[in-house]
């Protein structure tokens, strides 16, 4: 009986350690530190402006599909696009862009800490259009958008984040249609 209790206790302790470790990875957003690359996409016709798409790939990397599609759509309408990981040195200079898009996965209804940190330090020039995307499971609800907007509003600190275009794209939704609509809003 005593031996069985020790085995159960050891299994329980192991499960607690696994849950705490997973929680730490999510909270500390360790995956963002792998997003250090950048890629330039030139338009197929004459350039109408410059856009930067900054992304946090998330734990699984699945969140990179959204910024890749947004960057491709911006490129298709004539923007020279810099697709850049959120921890890349290229993400620090946003001064020459007409459009800045930032995003990544949504955990517990809010953007990752790396996205919030980036937005908190962002001071876009007048006339720059800003878009924020979130990707996550399930279809998008008005509550999802409200939570993302609330997180952005808490970061604004007097800078111009209040006119931000926000979209969440759920895993079961049509990525092509949702990204295209997002880009249409940004380029109007």
| 140, part of any domain | yes
> Percent of the chain at pLDDT above 90?
25
Where residue 112 sits, what CATH number does that domain have? Answer: 3.40.50.360
Residue 26 placed within a domain: no
In a domain, 65, yes or no: yes
- In this predicted structure, the answer to whether residue 30 has a pLDDT above a threshold of 60 is no
**Residue ranges in the chain assigned as alpha helix (H):** 2-28, 65-76, 113-121, 142-155, 175-187
pLDDT in tens, 119-129: 888 877 778 89
Tell me if 25 is assigned to some domain: no
Neighbour-count burial for 36-59, b at 16+ CB within 10 Å, e otherwise: eeeeebebeeeeebebbbbbbbbb
57 lies in which domain range? 32-187
Q: Is the pLDDT of residue 180 over 70?
A: yes
Residue 16 lies in a domain: no
Name the residue with higher pLDDT: 24 or 51: 51
CA distances from 152 to 72, 73, 90, 132 (A): 25, 24, 22, 9
Task: Specify if 22 maps to a domain.
Answer: no
Look at residue 44 and tell me if it is in a domain. yes
Mean pLDDT, the chain, rounded, equals 82
- Indicate the pTM of the whole model: 0.77
Cα separation, 16 vs 5, in Å, equals 16
| Cα-Cα-Cα-Cα dihedral sign, residues 134, 138, 139, 144 | negative
Question: Please, which pLDDT band fits residue 26 given cuts at 50, 70 and 90?
Answer: low
Tell me the average pLDDT across 48-72.
86
Chain length of the chain: 188
Q: Domains in the chain: how many in total? A: 1
In a domain, residue 123? The reply is: yes
Per-residue pLDDT averaged across 87-112, rounded?
A: 86
């Amino acid at each position: 009986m005593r031996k069985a209790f020790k085995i159960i206790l050891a299994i329980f302790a192991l499960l607690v350690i696994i849950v705490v470790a997973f929680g730490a990875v999510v909270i500390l957003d360790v995956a963002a530190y792998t997003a250090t690359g950048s890629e330039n996409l030139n338009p197929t016709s004459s350039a109408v402006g410059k856009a930067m798409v900054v992304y946090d790939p998330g734990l699984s990397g699945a969140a990179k599909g959204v910024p890749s599609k947004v960057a491709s759509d911006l490129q298709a309408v004539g923007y020279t696009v810099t697709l850049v990981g959120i921890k890349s040195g290229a993400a620090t200079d946003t001064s020459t862009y007409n459009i800045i898009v930032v995003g990544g996965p949504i955990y517990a209804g809010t953007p990752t800490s790396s996205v919030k940190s980036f937005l908190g330090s962002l001071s876009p020039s007048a006339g720059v259009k800003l878009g924020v995307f979130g990707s996550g499971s399930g279809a998008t609800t008005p509550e999802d958008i409200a939570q993302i907007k609330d997180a952005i509003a808490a970061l604004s600190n007097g800078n111009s984040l209040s006119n931000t275009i926000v979209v969440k794209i759920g895993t079961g939704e049509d990525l092509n249609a949702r990204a295209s609509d997002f880009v249409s809003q940004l380029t109007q």
